[in-house]
Chains A and B, each alone.
Chain A
Amino acid sequence: MPIFLYIERATFIHRLHPTVKVFALLVMFWSVYWVDHPLALLPLGLVMLALAEFTGAWPNFYRLRWLFILVILTTTLAWMVFYRQGPALINLPLIHLSRASLVFGLGRGLKLAELLATSVLFLSTTKVEEFTAGLARLGVPYRVGFAITLSFRLVPLFIDSALTVVQAQNLRGYDFNRGGPLERVKRYVPVLIPVFMGALRKANSMAMALEARGFGMSRQPTSFIDYPVEPSDLAATVALFALGALYFMIYYTGYGAISPK
């Protein structure tokens, strides 16, 4: 299974300047942040689906389809427990199923799913090197930017390692699901210790390999990839500003809220 989400395509989105892509990520987060109502979130969701189609990112969305479904369903259900507003449509012991709790829960679920979708879209169309370059252009120190992007590479490796450790302990008869919630957390110690030790070893090996490749010699390394600013980057930046402003206006006017101001 590939450890990166990046999918090589020659689309307009793929060709955008890394800084514009990082800016787009921030604007999408910004826009999703300001609104709560599913109807206000829906256009953003549709834009993301269209972009997934346009950029060929569907395989990644498909890979993560259960995560999206889980996020939307569990969040919607969870808010039916905690958001006890409006007259109940059906009386259940724990769940308060009302129009208001359904709308609020669905809004929260969509919000999380759209944050996830934005990240998937970004990683599907942006190489980790571009991410580093984009962060550097935004003033983030190279070492910090590199560390952030390296974490994208390390996380799948650690997940893979954790799965192997779980398998190894399962084969020795270990049941991770025994006991109550606290007991279950404690029962992950036989996984956490080998994964943590493995991560330390891997991090140490990588740090040595990095330094041996000259990492740290220059505070601002040169870039193999040339990132010229094209008219399309300017157009995209303007469109993103407009989107960000529009969603702030939707929030400001109260149209994005569950209950209008």
Chain B
Amino acid sequence: MKNRNPAPGAVGAAPPDNKVAAVAHDVALEAVGFTYTDGERPALGRINFTVAAGEMVGVMGASGAGKSTLAKCLNRIVPEFEGGAFTGVVRIGGRSLDGARVCEVAPRVGMVFQDFEAQLFSTNVAHEVAFAMEQIGMARGEMVRRIGPALEAVGLAGFEHRDPTSLSGGEKQRLAIASVLALSPSVIVLDEPTTDLDPEGKAEIFALIRSLREQGFSLIVIEHEAEVLRGADRLVLLREGEIIAEGAPRDLMTRLELLEECGVHPPDLNRVLAKSGIAAHGASVDEAEALIRRALPHLGATRASSASTDEPFRDAAPANGANPLVEVRALSFNYPDGPSVLDSIDLRIAPGEFVAIIGQNGSGKTTLAKHLVGLLHPTAGAVMLNGRDRTAMRPAETAAEVGYVFQNPDHQIFAATVEDEVAFGPRNFNLAPDEIQRRCDEVLRAVGLQDARALDPFLLSKGERQRLAVASVLALRPRLLILDEPTTGLDYREQRRMMALVTELNREGIAIVMITHTPWLVAEYARRVVLIRRGRKLYDGGVREFFTRDELLASSSFRAPEATELSRRFGTVALGPDELAQWLRAQR
């Protein structure tokens, strides 16, 4: 029997006064519909949705499917904060929220948002946890009593006096969860809480979610990666504001086509099993291995330790050719009066390469990339572009060699139309109007936005804005394209579309440097990995080789995708479900 609503220690020792005893559901949405003021269709279309006390429900769907709207209905942000037409009833602990203000719901429903920076308001960790308690008028003694256990529950005990801005992304998000826990809500809603985190931060948050589940909180976790929701009691799949499927992870996660149609990343293990003719759910790598061994008993018992990297699959060594496009020589960098950010980095990138730069948040990845494009200047060492010292090159010359697409496309979009946005760069270089038009046509076609040329860029979806940002950089025809986290904030369908575009550009000869935290992107798309840790290059080599270096992976808090991990159980190294399924079929 689960312990009902006990946040740990003192937090749990003070159940909220507004609890209604013996309710069947902690959360109930009855025919809830919502259309945003300027929305063309309902964001939610009269859905019925329940969460039992102590249940963990995963909500999945593409961008715009209604996931966040559903979450915001639970604490009255919809319709109190967001304008629009609301219908239906939301009940928390059996009580209707009709007429309640957002702040009044806070003690009952804790909400953790994707943007952890926007959730922190204080100058030290203890005060951050106290903030919500202050707002509801809690006595000081009670606040003091709750802070310690709340921080302990999220693994931040001892951080009380730290400045929240000095924490890592994962720690900031855990702090946001602690400040929610301190109010001792019965329901916690987490809206894509790991989108902006590195693998270590993601692992921290999902370990915490598991712990909260064990403690009996009712949890609603919104995600578009099915894999991370395996531990949920139930999954709900949304499409265009409607619930189109729900059920246990074991049932829903084997409906791969449906998941993909809905913009959800299906679990790679299940993709491997399905492609190998095994209709079953692999809840873990161990379980998937057992299923495969049962289906293919003749497979050897080779384990990871003897995994071979000599497979005839895609891989590439570092560029050692005579004419690299980029050559970084003993590059060191530190901000004035600051510690070292990069320390003696050597790197060569040849034309047409596809390199993934990985490392934890703050490791120096972006700093290195900014040197390639001239946004930063080395403290020591040099960056050569096509054999010339980059510091001696004019911006136009640099732009013709290297393009940089920032993580957030909204950092560059400003024009009134999509076409104007693309034309902005070429105009700055005083190209002839005919040439500008030719380039606009070319790159808009390449990114699939040729029909959107007259639209206002701010009306595009996040995925389309990201592709527009790529197009506006491509219009300068760089030979090397640097993409900083090109898939952050995109759903699976948009991620695949973006990566198909990047792959196509690479096929046409543009070298790609992709900064990313996402293991499956590295495995399935890159041909070379550069691992940076604390400003030093720890690894530079093939992708397949990289994913066999267990110590390196562990020490850099990176992990191989599950399909790769599974493949190593059979003595091979596959860089994705398709490769592994192909290998398994060959073993039959």
- The answer on a CB contact under 8 Å between B127 and A214 is no
When A202-B118, A212-B77 are in contact, do A222 and B476 touch as well, CB less than 8 Å?
no
Bound CA–CA A213/B410 (angstroms): 27
- The answer on a CB contact under 8 Å between A205 and B118 is yes
- The answer on a CB contact under 8 Å between B132 and A213 is yes
- The answer on a CB contact under 8 Å between A222 and B139 is yes
Bound CA–CA A211/B161 (angstroms): 25
Bound CA–CA A202/B140 (angstroms): 31
Contact indicator per residue, chain A 161-181, by CB within 8 Å of chain B (1) or not (0) = 100110111111111000000
Q: How far is the CB of A55 from chain B (nearest CB, A)?
A: 16
A2 in complex: contacting residue of B136, B166, B406, CB < 8 Å: B166
User: Residue of B at shortest CB range from A218?
Assistant: B137
User: Residue of B at shortest CB range from A156?
Assistant: B165
Bound CA–CA A157/B337 (angstroms): 21
The residues of B that contact A190 with a CB separation of less than 8 Å are 414, 424
Q: How far is the CB of A139 from chain B (nearest CB, A)?
A: 19
Contact indicator per residue, chain B 124-155, by CB within 8 Å of chain A (1) or not (0) = 10110011111111111001100000000000
Interface residues of A in 127-144 (CB under 8 A from B): 127-129
The residues of B that contact A128 with a CB separation of less than 8 Å are 122-123
The answer to whether A47 has its CB under 8 Å from any CB of chain B is: no
The residues of B that contact A225 with a CB separation of less than 8 Å are 127
- The answer on a CB contact under 8 Å between A207 and B81 is yes
When A129-B127, A222-B139, A226-B140 are in contact, do A211 and B406 touch as well, CB less than 8 Å?
no
The residues of A that contact B132 with a CB separation of less than 8 Å are 213-214
Q: How many residues of A contact B (CB 8 A)?
A: 54
Contact indicator per residue, chain A 192-229, by CB within 8 Å of chain B (1) or not (0) = 01100110011001111111111111100111111000
Contact indicator per residue, chain B 451-472, by CB within 8 Å of chain A (1) or not (0) = 0000000100000000000001
Question: Which of the segments A3-11, A37-45, A111-119 contacts the partner chain?
Answer: A3-11
- The answer on a CB contact under 8 Å between A212 and B102 is yes
- The answer on a CB contact under 8 Å between A153 and B411 is no
The answer to whether B550 has its CB under 8 Å from any CB of chain A is: no
Bound CA–CA A202/B395 (angstroms): 31
The answer to whether B104 has its CB under 8 Å from any CB of chain A is: yes
- The answer on a CB contact under 8 Å between B412 and A194 is yes
The residues of A that contact B473 with a CB separation of less than 8 Å are 171-172
The residues of B that contact A224 with a CB separation of less than 8 Å are 126-127, 130-131, 133-134, 140, 143-144
Interface residues of B (CB under 8 A from A): 72, 75, 77, 80-81, 101-104, 106-107, 110-111, 113, 115, 117-119, 121-124, 126-127, 130-140, 143-144, 161, 163, 165-166, 179-180, 183, 335, 337-338, 370, 373-375, 395-396, 399, 403-404, 406, 408, 410-414, 424-425, 428-429, 458, 472-473, 476
**6 A-B pairs in the complex with CB atoms less than 8 angstroms apart:** A167-B406, A168-B412, A173-B429, A212-B111, A213-B179, A217-B136
Interface residues of A (CB under 8 A from B): 1-4, 6, 8, 62, 127-129, 150, 153, 157, 161, 164-165, 167-175, 189-191, 193-194, 197-198, 201-202, 205-218, 221-226
